[in-house]
Amino acid sequence: MKTVLITGCSSGFGRDIARYFLERDWKVIATMRTPREDVLPHSTNLRILPLDVTDAESIRQAIEAAGPIDALVNNAGIGWLGALEGMPMQTVRTVFETNTFGTIALTQAVLPQFRERKAGVIVNVTSSVTLRPLTMLPVYTASKAAVNAFTESVALELAPFGVRLRVVLPGRAPDTRFGANAQTRMEGAIPEVYAGLAQQVIARLQEPGPITHASDVSEAVWWAVTDPDSPMRIPAGEDAVEWAKAG
């Protein structure tokens, strides 16, 4: 039985990915900053571990506790909407610490075991916003686009060791808390001169149209992990697929 470690499993995509793998007889190590036993169904194949991807010691402890794994899914991330002019640099650093540096640090932590076994898969969940420029998302988009580039570059140096890397790009997912959480962070990040533009952005987020469901992301991650012939970049969700085709 194979084992996958998934970050950001307290809600949204991470929680659904964990369920998806459990239903297909994988051992799942579901990590969360604040572990909760009630968010996933009880299973002898499930372990829940604390993990803060921005903390080096937390990463070390989680990897040590997890033991050997066959796949890593870097899903943990934070959304942020705001005009660059009103965004403090500390906020910029916070976004990158989780979305970019956390992904890089955890990837680095699992590489020795994958390289030594000459096997392993790493899937980084980024975003379809990297496929086209969008208003009020410059920092978030940059943090995710950096992961895309990082993944494709590291994939080249790890291919000789039998280690695969893939990127999954979800679209807009109103069924999760991700977008709502991002909107709450707009407070204080919108100078008055940008207020009208911000309202337009919020209105567009609420418009009907193609969206991404958590199940779309889980299926894409499963494909990336289990199929060596899967593409490097996998859009997840009807809207993400449309954007990928248009790009």
Instruction: Assess whether pLDDT exceeds 60 at residue 63.
Output: yes
State whether residue 51 is helix, strand or coil: coil
Say if residue 90 is exposed, middle or buried (CB neighbours under 10 Å; 0-12, 13-18, 19+): exposed
- Whole-structure pTM value: 0.94
Distance CA 106, CA 246 (A): 32
What CATH number does the domain containing 168 carry?
3.40.50.720
Number of domains observed in the structure of the chain: 1
Q: Which of 119, 70, 129 is nearest to 99 (CA)?
A: 129
Q: How confident is the model at residue 247 (pLDDT cuts 50, 70, 90)?
A: low
Residues labelled as active-site residues: 140
What is the rounded average pLDDT of the residues 118-134? 96
Query: What's the pLDDT tens digit per position in 156-202?
Result: 999 999 999 999 999 999 877 655 555 555 666 689 999 998 888 88
The identity of residue 237, as a single letter, is: G
* Predicted local distance difference test score (pLDDT) of residue 174: 85
Q: Which domain holds residue 145?
A: 3-246
